A and B are shown apart, each in its own frame.
Chain A
Amino acid sequence: MSIKNYIKIKNLSKSFGDVEVLKNINLEVEEGEFFSLLGPSGCGKTTLLRILAGFEYPSEGEVFFDDTNVTSLPPNLRPSNMVFQNYAIFPHINVQRNIEFGLRKENLSKDEMQQRVENALKMVQLEGYENRYSNQLSGGQRQRIALARALVKQPKVLLLDEPLGALDKKLREEMQIELRNLQKSLGITFIFVTHDQEEAMTMSDRIAVMDEGNILQVSPPKEIYHNPKNKFVSQFIGNINILGAKIKSVSNENLLIEVDCFGSIQLKNYQQIIENDRINIAIRPEEITISKISDSNYDYNFQGNVKNISFYGESTYFYVQLNNSDKILMVSKNETKEPFSENDNCFVNFSSNNLKIIKD
């Protein structure tokens, strides 16, 4: 059975006055996918979500749900439902009536209605809260009610606008798992907007990284982490060392690269690159090791000096200044056999297969 693309966005642009917040977006989301829109604030991710919901109309381009053009369909006629950033629980009616709100047109009997509400509350583990009002609920509970209210409509697509942003860290992590499980069991498409890269990584099937109105990369989390397409993506997802470099010579198999901070290296030619191009060499902190003496297991060893040490519990970050350069490398380790302290001399070691070439 082939999985079909449920949502299609074609050549979509959106401007507010002179400001173009979305620039020629093309995107397809599969049925039953947990799809995240990830980016810094102001990147256009919320606007894109609101266009999917029908609250904003694109300046150009089209949106299809299940091959039907819904571009000019108002939100009340779309098969999608939304969980709002601030939850938008109606304060003048109780939880029961909030959840029933969207069922008015379905002509359900009193018992059926009650059953639907009960099921919805059970799904979000808030049985017995029917008579509460919004101001009697905690942030996490409001979030669950918002979820229940949207899901009771049995939408094809659930749109979530940073729904966990207002929760504290612990609760947020619980809800991440819960949301993921819920999505899996319901099998419907989730479009999840967030600026938190960890959140996107842990929950999503695929992530679209956005910046300044463009989608920079659409890939599964691992792919994004290990093969970021450009500098912005690499820096936005996790920590990374970006080293300025220049291509010295190109042969069929190899690239000779002059890295600004430590000199020449050779890499396999796997991208279309021409001589004299400025590029970046990137390496994740956990792919570098730190040692007192040069470690010959690795292709490259450079001398440096430990400038700073930050302890994060599960790992420790060393900020190492390379000799003869002002570049500082980030090195992470979950344990160090040799204890280092600040201002110690050291070696940093890494292999060429961990180095990635990244364009600006």
Chain B
Amino acid sequence: MYNKNNTLFIYCVFYFAFLYIPVLLLPIFSFNDSFHMVFPLKGFTFDWYIQMWNKSRLHQALFNSIKVGIIASVVSTFIALFAAKAFTRYKVKFHGLSYGAILLPFIIPEIIIAVALIVIWTSMGLKLGLIPVTISHILFCTPFCMLILISRMEGFDKSLEEASMDLGENSFWTFWRVTFPLLLPGIIASLLLAFVISFDEFILAFFLSSSDQTLPIYMWSQLRFPKKFPHILALGAIIIIVTSLIVMTAYWLRNLGQGKKKDFSIGI
């Protein structure tokens, strides 16, 4: 019945092109020997990559982004791990309310969270910088991590943990001997994806980072100047390739050992 549908297939190919052309354009132009992103391409060059290497502000921004990303992904994965266990292993009272509250930061417009945080932060007389950025990223990443870990936890039976208890292990050892190893691929996937989200996040950092630029803020500040622009292309090309590799690893890990029950939800 559903053997072939050429019309739909051709449509898919076009949509695929629509999805990928904007993404692939940047790496192509990053080797183009011109300040302007115009076809036809001029000549091949590595100049922009070399130029990028020498920007100290870029290094600082990269360092900031990595710092924020690591803290945000570790903390939100931890928080999400506990929450996921609560939701999958217990019949939580007010389940809908707690679940909705934890997922909310992921749904509501980021600018509203940004505004709320900048207002409370400044009204407490605190200085903006990487600390509020990190907090906002933890808030934003936790729902993602929780959804990833919940689907991983649902992938293995509660009776495995019960079997461990039955065989004489207490909660602590059951967690380390059974739950943790089975969740490990999900935990790593959660760490990787949360890192990518934090690393790419713009609007929260834009409101809250003040002078401590993260990488997206640095790129934003350079976009306006055509002369500074090509090295952003080089940077962008590297970011695209590295994040793609990280995300593919995360996808692969998430389905590791899940047998036939594949999971596509990347936390949606």
Q: What is A's interface to B at a CB cutoff of 8 Å?
A: 53-55, 74-77, 80-82, 84-86, 88, 90-93, 101-102, 104-105, 135, 149-150, 153
CB neighbours (8 Å) of A76 from chain B are 165-170
Contact B159 A84 (CB under 8 A): yes
Q: Is B222 an interface residue (CB 8 A)?
A: no
Q: Which of B13-21, B34-42, B111-119, B174-182 faces chain A?
A: B174-182
Q: State whether B169 touches A82 (Cβ < 8 A).
A: no
Name 4 extra pairs, CB < 8 A, besides A82-B166, A135-B259. A82-B162, A86-B157, A90-B160, A101-B167
- B170 to chain A: which residues have CB within 8 Å? 74, 76
Q: Are A88 and B159 in contact (CB under 8 A)?
A: yes
B236-256 contacts to A (CB < 8 Å)? none
* A90 B178 Cβ-Cβ under 8 A: yes
Measured in the bound complex, the distance between the Cα atoms of B162 and A101 in whole Å is: 13
Q: Please tell me which one of the listed residues A75, A135, A150 contacts residue B165 in the complex, with CB atoms under 8 A apart.
A: A75
**Is the C-beta of B163 less than 8 angstroms from some C-beta in chain A?**
yes
Any chain A CB within 8 A of the CB of B151?
no
CB nearest to B165 among chain A residues = A75
Cβ-defined contact, B168 with A82, below 8 A:
no
Q: Are A102's CB and B168's CB within 8 A?
A: yes
Expressed in whole angstroms, the minimum distance between the Cβ of A213 and any Cβ of chain B is 19
Is B164 in contact with chain A by the CB < 8 A criterion? yes
Which single residue of chain A is at the shortest CB-CB distance from B182?
A92
Docked-complex contact A90 and B168, CB < 8 angstroms? no
Task: Name the distance in Å between B37's Cβ and chain A's nearest Cβ.
Answer: 50
What is the CB-to-nearest-CB distance from B208 to chain A, in angstroms, rounded to a whole number?
Answer: 41
Q: Choose among B163, B168, B181 the residue that contacts A92 (Cβ–Cβ < 8 A).
A: B181
Q: List 19 A-B contacts (CB under 8 A).
A: A53-B166, A55-B165, A55-B166, A74-B165, A74-B170, A75-B162, A76-B169, A84-B162, A86-B159, A88-B160, A90-B160, A91-B156, A92-B181, A101-B167, A101-B169, A101-B177, A102-B169, A149-B163, A150-B166
The residue of chain B having its C-beta at the shortest distance from the C-beta of A152 within the complex is B167
Whether the Cβ atoms of A82 and B163 lie closer than 8 Å is yes
- Distance from A217 Cβ to chain B, minimum over Cβ atoms (Å): 29
The interface residues of chain A lying within 8 Å CB-to-CB of B156 are 91
What are the 3 closest A-B residue pairs judged by CB atoms, nearest first? A102-B167, A88-B163, A88-B159
Q: Using Cβ atoms and an 8 Å threshold, which residues of chain B touch A91?
A: 156, 160, 182, 257
Q: Contacts of A149 on B, CB cut-off 8 Å?
A: 163, 167
A75 to B257, CA, bound (A): 28
Let me know if A81 and B167 touch, CB within 8 A: yes
User: Which residues does chain A contribute within 8 Å of B173, judged by CB atoms?
Assistant: 104
> Given A101-B177, A135-B259, are A90 and B166 neighbors across the interface (CB < 8 Å)?
no
A75 & B166 in contact (Cβ 8 Å cutoff):
yes
What residue of chain A has the Cβ atom nearest to residue B162's Cβ? A55
Name the B residues within 8 Å of A75 (CB-CB).
Answer: 162, 165-166
Assuming the contacts A90-B178, A92-B181, asked whether A105 and B168 have C-beta atoms less than 8 A apart, the reply is: yes
When distances are taken between beta carbons in the complex, the residues of chain A under 8 Å from B166 are 53-55, 75-76, 80-82, 150
In whole angstroms, what is the CA distance A195 to B127 when docked?
A: 67
Tell me the smallest distance from the CB of A258 to a CB of chain B, in Å.
52
CA distance A54 to B166 in the complex (A): 8
A85 and B165 alpha carbons, distance in the complex (Å):
16
Quote the shortest CB–CB distance from A184 to chain B (angstroms): 23
Q: How far is the CA of A101 from the CA of B45 in the complex (A)?
A: 60
Question: Would you call B181 and A88 a contact (CB within 8 A)?
Answer: no
Q: How far is the CB of B178 from chain A (nearest CB, A)?
A: 6
For chain B residues 145-194, which have a beta carbon within 8 Å of chain A? Answer: 156-157, 159-160, 162-170, 173, 177-178, 181-182
CB-CB under 8 A from B259, the residues of chain A are: 135
Give the nearest-CB partner of B180 in chain A.
A92
Q: Are B257 and A85 neighbours in the complex by a CB distance under 8 Å?
A: no
- Distance A5 CA – B79 CA, assembled complex (angstroms): 48
